[in-house]
């Protein structure tokens, strides 16, 4: 199973992002969507679950939840926009992963058995940061494997 993980589109869904997400079974958007049309376009690729970012303050995007818990391969995944607003211990809560955006800096690491995954930003370029999406793959043993896809490498 492969899950697309995106954040900080800020109203722009690049064609390269759509190509990088082709074939995923689900897409998780971690906020700062920017325009409802972004979610509509992502829905054409796979079912979408989205949370609200700090810039999603008006219109229908303001109605998105601040955080969301989704089940992937019988494991709990916690979604939020800004990791600094996390007010629980994911390991104690038995979460397999915490997905966040906001910083536009792609990274992933494991702490206390929990995967922390930030796919970076696939919207307008910010500073000299790469434009990226994330892929979360469920391995045969049920573990999550995170991957950062730099969109300059997507044809």
Domains of the chain, earliest start first: 2-153 (3.60.21.10)
% of the chain beyond a pLDDT of 90: 92
Q: Which helix (H) or strand (E) holds 70?
A: strand 67-72
Alpha carbon dihedral 96, 49, 129, 155, in 10-degree steps, equals 110
pLDDT of residue 154 exceeding 90, the answer is: no
Measured CA to CA, the distance from residue 113 to residue 21 in angstroms comes to 27
Q: 10: which strand partners?
A: none
Residue 55 exposure: Cα atoms within 13 Å on the Cβ side: 15
Burial 59-72 (b: 16+ CB within 10 A, else e): eebeebeebbeeeb
Give the pLDDT band of residue 126 (cuts 50, 70, 90): confident
C-beta separation of 10 from 17 below 8 A: no
pTM of the predicted structure, to 2 decimals: 0.96
75-84 confidence digits (pLDDT tens): 999 999 999 9
Note the pLDDT of residue 155: 67
The two beta strands, 75-80 and 67-72, are antiparallel
Read off the pLDDT of each residue in 54-73 and give the average, rounded to a whole number: 96
Give the pLDDT band of residue 153 (cuts 50, 70, 90): confident
């Amino acid at each position: 199973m492969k899950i697309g993980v995106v954040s900080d589109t800020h109203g722009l869904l690049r064609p390269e992002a759509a190509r990088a997400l082709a074939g995923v079974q689900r897409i998780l958007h971690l906020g700062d969507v920017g325009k409802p049309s972004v979610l509509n376009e992502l829905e054409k690729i796979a079912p979408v679950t989205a949370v609200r970012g700090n810039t999603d303050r008006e219109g229908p995007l303001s109605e998105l939840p601040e955080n969301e818990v989704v089940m992937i391969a019988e494991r709990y995944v916690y979604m939020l926009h800004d990791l600094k607003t996390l007010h629980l211990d994911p390991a104690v809560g038995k979460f397999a992963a915490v997905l966040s955006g906001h910083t536009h800096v792609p990274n992933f690491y494991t702490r206390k058995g929990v995967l922390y995954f930030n796919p970076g930003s696939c919207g307008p370029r910010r500073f000299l940061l790469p434009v990226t999406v994330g892929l979360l793959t469920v391995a045969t043993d049920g573990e999550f494997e995170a991957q950062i896809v730099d969109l300059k490498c997507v044809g």
